[in-house]
Homo-oligomer: A and B are copies of this chain.
Amino acid sequence: MRIALDAMGGDDAPGEIIAGVFESLEFLDPDDQLILVGQEKEIKSHIPLLAKRKKMVSIVDAPEIIGMNEKPIESLRKKVKSSISVLAKLAKQGKADAVISAGNTGACVAAFQMRMRNLPGVNRPGISVVLPTFKGPVTICDVGANIACKPINLYQYAVMAGIQSEFLLGVKKPRIGLMSIGEEDAKGNEIVKKAREMLKSDPNINFIGNIEGSDIFEGVCDVAVCEGFVGNVILKMAEGLVKGLFQSIKHELMQEKLRLALKFKPVMMRIYKKYDYNEYGGAPLLGVNGTALICHGSSKAKTIKNAVLNAKKYSNNQINEKITEYLSNSAIRNSDEQGS
């Protein structure tokens, strides 16, 4: 399998990206290929050992870089030789079987959608993140690919993230919840209400109904479906809150007794490790016709290694084929003629 990686994307690129690629090698098959896309000279300066591994790792030059805070569409138009643009082109031309980037999320979504197109039957792709919680991992889709969400999109996110949960995480008959502001049928905005009807009418979905913000951490569902704006807020809020709470605990412990703080440290580290999202290595952009994983901007080598392994698993488990088959058999289609 040929997996192309954005060597220039992320807060710690290219160092951590390249390190992650090399960490992943021992877990791959001999005929797997990893393609580092980015500024060739810069990449080479980070790989003193490339010669030894050259059979598995290659470089495709992409002289331009899209910054983390650049406007997605504009930057893609201006920088056709950026690593993200080149990555998307490799996928389109069939020169890469999977693409991975920890760069500008908006630019990745736009480039991958534009070049790879959607899977048959899919109206809009969604980013599907696995969030580790105290009651097990919860898959959340969408977390920001689509901020003009329609009911059919939410229905398809449920289908796609359900397949991801079952075949990537091994959850049998994943329980699917629809993010809303109350459990009853009557609650939620119009889009959520319509999506709820669609989900209820599909007997093959293990739909548990509306969920609320607190339910994500209560172990009531394996998949949480929501529009991209809401999902993005959830994801970023979880990060900020956990970070803040740990800082606060540390502060209080230091006030109490330094020795107590030191004793507590390994406990905190264990919790951090247990609920480390880096373990899940990248979020698939579900619904594009190919394998595309988007990683957190702060990704370290471990995240990238896990993303590479995740891309293989995604492909080996034929997630896209399962999504296409499911949607081709589903009676639920977009009834809204106006849009996708």
Contacts and interface: CB of A to CB of B under 8 A. Distances in A.
A245 B134 contact: yes
Interface in A184-212: 184, 186-190, 212
Interface in A87-116: 106
A58 interface: no
A243 interface: yes
A237 B216 contact: yes
A184 B263 contact: no
A237 B214 contact: yes
A340 to B, nearest CB: 16
Interface string A111-134: 000000000000000000000011
A183 B69 contact: yes
A256 interface: yes
Interface in A243-284: 243-245, 247-249, 252-253, 256, 260, 263-264, 266-268, 270-271, 274-275
B245 A267 contact: no
B240 A214 contact: yes
B240 A237 contact: no
A248 B134 contact: yes
Nearest to A232: B181
B233 A179 contact: yes
A248 B234 contact: no
Contacts of A252: 267, 270-271
B213 A234 contact: yes
Main secondary structure of the interface of A (DSSP, over half): helix
Contact of A236 (B106, B213, B242, B266): B213
A217 to B, nearest CB: 4
A144 interface: yes
A191 B44 CA distance: 46
B264 A240 contact: no
A251 B132 CA distance: 16
B147 A188 contact: yes
A218 interface: yes
A248 B106 CA distance: 34
B144 A71 contact: no
A233 B133 contact: no
Interface in A152-192: 179-184, 186-190
What 10 A-B pairs have minimum CB-CB distances, sorted nearest first?
A: A214-B240, A213-B236, A213-B237, A217-B244, A213-B233, A181-B232, A217-B240, A214-B236, A134-B248, A134-B244
Interface of A: 69, 71, 106, 133-135, 144, 147-148, 179-184, 186-190, 212-218, 226, 228-230, 232-245, 247-249, 252-253, 256, 260, 263-264, 266-268, 270-271, 274-275
16 contacts: A69-B184, A134-B245, A134-B248, A147-B188, A148-B189, A188-B229, A189-B229, A213-B232, A213-B238, A217-B240, A217-B243, A217-B244, A218-B244, A230-B230, A249-B249, A264-B264
